[in-house]
Amino acid sequence: MLRFTRKQVLVAAASAAALSAIGGCSLEEETPAQSQPGQPAQTGADADAWHKTVCRYCGTGCGLLVGTKQGKAVAVKGDPDNTVNKGMLCVKAYFLANVLYAKTRITKPLIKKNGKFEEASWEEALNLIVTKFTEIKTTHGSDALAFYGSGQASMDESYVYNKLFKGFIGTNNVDGNPRTCMASAVAGFNQTFGKDEPMGTYDDFEKADVFFFIGSNAAEAHPILWARIIERRNKNPHVKIIVCDPRETRTTQVADKKLIFKPGADIALLNSMAYVIVNENLVDRNFIDSYTNFAQTVDGKDEKRDWNQYVEFLQQFKPELVEATTGVKAEQIYEVARMFAEKSKETISLWCMGVNQRIRGTHTNNVIHNLHLITGKICRPGSTSFSLTGQPSACGSVREVGALAHLLPGHRMIANAQHRKEIETIWGIAEGTIKPTPGRPLMRMFQGTVDGDIKGMWVMATNPGHSLPNVNKYRAGMEKCFLVVSEGFHPTRTSELADVILPAAVWCEKEGLYGNAERRTQHMAKAIDAPGETKPDVWALLEVAKRMGYGDYFKYNSIDDIFAEYRRCTVGTGYDVAPLERLRKERGVRWPVVGDGMGTEGSIRYAAPWDPYVKAEEKIKFYGKPDGKAVIFFRPHLPPAETVNAEYPMYLTTGRLLEQWHTMTMTGTVEQLNKIVEVQTAGEGWFVEMNPKDAESLGLKDGDKVRVTSPRGQLISKVSLHGRGTPQPGLLYMNFHDPNVETLTNIVVSDAVDAASAQPEYKVSICKIQKI
C-alpha cells in the first residue's frame, strides 16, 4: 500500500493543501502533491491502469485518478485535466486508497442477535428488513418509518431511496446529513433568489479582487480551494483576503484584514457593513432598482418594504453602536465594508458551517446575499455569494435529488401540488400518492426515535450516532427502534447501535456520480471489485424494493437507467444536468445544460449570456422569483439559543482539522494521518482549545486534564494553548472528530435548530470547564 514518511505527510499538509499559515507557498512549488504545474500527486509507477474518479471527502469535488494493479487500488493522484483541482490534492486524498483495506472493513451482513452481532447471508438480512418494515407499516403506519441518507452517497443511490420511501413505502420521513451542514444555505438561497445553490463557480476565484470569508476555516476544511485563492493573491498583489471568525485560525493568519467577532454576532456585523455601504453611497442603485425587492418577516409572513425603510432599518447597526455587540472596533468595520464595496473591485463571499450551523443561519445567509445585492456585486465574473459545502455530494445527492424531508427531485417542493404531480408522472404512480405534507427533518426525525414514534429507520453512508448534537439523547432513541445501517466500516458509533448492518461498497468499488459545490456533476468509474460479499448500496435498495412488492417500478438494469430517469426530473427546471454518456467522458459538467445536455455547460446563473434561461435583453433575471427579482431582507440581530450565565460562563464552538474528516470512519484508519501532532500524539487524545487569558484566570496550563460540562452532559479532555487556533476570551473550541464514545464532542453541543432550515446550532453552546 501507499507509504510516505512523516516528513512528507507534514509537508503535503502544509504546502500542498494549506499552503502554510504564512501564505508564501505557490501551487508551482515542488511538493509530494505536485512536482510541476499540472503533474499528478504521485507517480504510481506500480499501477497498470488508471481510472477517473472524484475525491470521497469534502464538497470541493477534486478530480482523482486511481491506479490499480492485480485488482487492487495501489495509488491515487490528482487529475491534471480536472479544472477543480488541476492535479492538486490535499493530504487526506493521498491516502484515500488505504481506507479500502482498513481492518474495520465489513464484508458480510451482520444481524444483532441477543445483543451480539452474527454474520448472516444477504437473503436473511434482506428478508428481515422487509419483514420488519412491512410489519411496522401495517401496524403503525408508513410514517413510523424513516430514512436518513448522506451527502456521501452516490446520486443514483439517493434517487432510488428517495423514490422508494416517498413514492412507495409512503412516507416523506426522508432526510440527510446535509441538514446538519448546508440546510441554512439552502433556505437562504431559496428565500433570496427563489432557487437553491450558488450562482457563481470556481472560475470566479481567478477573477475576484476581494475574498470575504465568514464562518469558514478554508485552510483546514477546503484546502485546495484555499490554495487557489492564495495563488490568486500571490500572483496579484492587489487581491485582498478578509476573514471574519470568532477564533484565530490558519485562515485568519494569512488574512489581509481579520475581524474576530463575538459568537452569535454575525448578523449585527454584516448589517453594520451594509450600513457603511449605504451611508457612504457605495451601493449600485441601478442594480437595486432593476433587480431587487425588499421584505421584512413579520409574524412569519414576508411583508414588502422599500429602499427608504431599509436605510432606516440599518441605522441601528451604525458601527459605533454595535461595537459592544460584535466585539469589533468601529473603524475596522468601516475599513472592511469599504474594501468589500469598492466599485472598481470584484468581490466574492465564502462561508460554511460557521454561518450555517446557527439558529440564525438562514438569516445570516440572507444578509450575506444582501451585501452583494446592494453593491451589484453578483451575477458577473469574480463577484458572487458562494456557500462552501462539506461533503462530496451534499449538493448532487441530496439537494438536487431532493432527498430531504421537504423536497422532491429537481429541487421540487413536496408542499407544491404541481411538483408532486410532475414526479408522480415520472415515477408512474397515481396522482395523490405522494403525501402533501413534508416529513420530519433531522432533529424531529431522531426525536421520533426517542419518543417511540419512529419504529424503524434505515441509515446510509453516515454516522449520526457520532455526529448529531446532544448525541447521547438520540443514541438512546436509535437503540429503541429497528435500525438498519448501510456502512463500509464497523464498528462505528452508529453501526454498533444497529439491528442489521449491510456491508457497502466504498468509493471506487462501484460506479457513481457526485455533484460538488459549483454545480458540477461528475462521474466516478468503478476501478476495483468490492471485497467479500460487499454490495453497492443501490443494489440493496433495489432488492428491498423488489421484496416489498414494488419491483415493477424499479426495473433498472444499470446506473444508466436510474440516471436517465433522474435527468428527466431536471429538464426544464433550471437545474438541467448533463446525460451520463457525456459525464463518463468529461471531467464533470456544470448545470444547467439545456436541450439534449450536450451543449455549453452552465456558468454564471441568472445572467446573460451565461445562463441559457436568461434572454440577452433581460440581462439579469432571478427566475426563481415570479417577478424575476431577488429579495433584500431586513434581518435583525438576535441572540443564540442559549447565552452564557453564572453556571455556564463559556461558549463552545466546534470544527475540524485538515488531516481528518468528519467522524474518522475512513481517515481514522490511516496510520499516517493519525500520527500528525495536532490529531493524536502518542495516545494523548483530543483537546479543547482555550484562550491563554482564560486558562490563566482558571489556573489551567497546557495539557491539563479538564472536564467540559454543558446542560446536556459532560466529557473529559485536555487543554491546548498552543494549537493551530486561538479562541477569543470566553470561547472554547473542540474538534468533533474524536470517535471515543465517552468523549464525543457532540455530547455537550446544543441541539437547538434554525426555525426556517431546521439546522442545528453546533457553533454556539454554553458550557463550563474545570480542572480535574
**By C-alpha distance, which of 67, 64, 30 is closest to 45?**
67
Separation between Cα atoms, residue 650 and residue 262, nearest integer Å:
12
Three-state SS letters, 283-311? CCHHHHHHHEEEEEEECCEEEEECHHHHH
- Cell (9 digits) for 708: 467540559
CA atoms within 13 A on the CB side of 260: 13
Residues 89, 95, 99, 104: is their CA dihedral positive or negative?
negative
Separation between Cα atoms, residue 448 and residue 97, nearest integer Å:
38
**Full strand arrangement of the beta sheet holding 63-69:** 49-54, 63-69, 72-78
Task: Tell me whether strands 500-503 and 482-487 are parallel, antiparallel or unpaired.
Answer: parallel
Q: Distances in Å between the alpha carbon of 727 and those of 115, 709, 720, 764?
A: 43, 18, 11, 13
Q: At 172, is the secondary structure helix, strand, or coil?
A: coil
Let me know the angle formed at the C-alpha of 396 by 619 and 669, rounded to the nearest 5 degrees.
140
Query: By the 8 A CB rule, do 76 and 53 touch?
Result: no
Q: At 719, is the secondary structure helix, strand, or coil?
A: strand
Separation between Cα atoms, residue 395 and residue 516, nearest integer Å:
6
Which sequence positions are flagged as catalytic?
92, 181-182, 353, 390-391
- Cell (9 digits) for 653: 464552538
Helices (runs of H) and strands (runs of E) counted in the chain: 25, 31
Greatest CA separation found in the chain? Answer: 71
Other beta carbons within 10 Å of 649: 13
- Helix 471-480 to helix 442-451 angle (10° resolution) is 60
Separation between Cα atoms, residue 281 and residue 697, nearest integer Å:
46
Q: Distances in Å between the alpha carbon of 331 and those of 273, 276, 322, 338, 375?
A: 11, 11, 12, 11, 20
User: Beta partners for 292?
Assistant: 630
Separation between Cα atoms, residue 137 and residue 466, nearest integer Å:
28
Query: By the 8 A CB rule, do 256 and 332 touch?
Result: no
User: Beta partners for 316?
Assistant: none
The DSSP code sequence of 467-536 is HSTTHHHHHHHHHHSEEEEEESBSS-TTGGG-SEEEEB--GGGS-EEEE-TTSEEEEE---SPPSTT-B-
Residues 409, 162, 390, 77: is their CA dihedral positive or negative?
negative
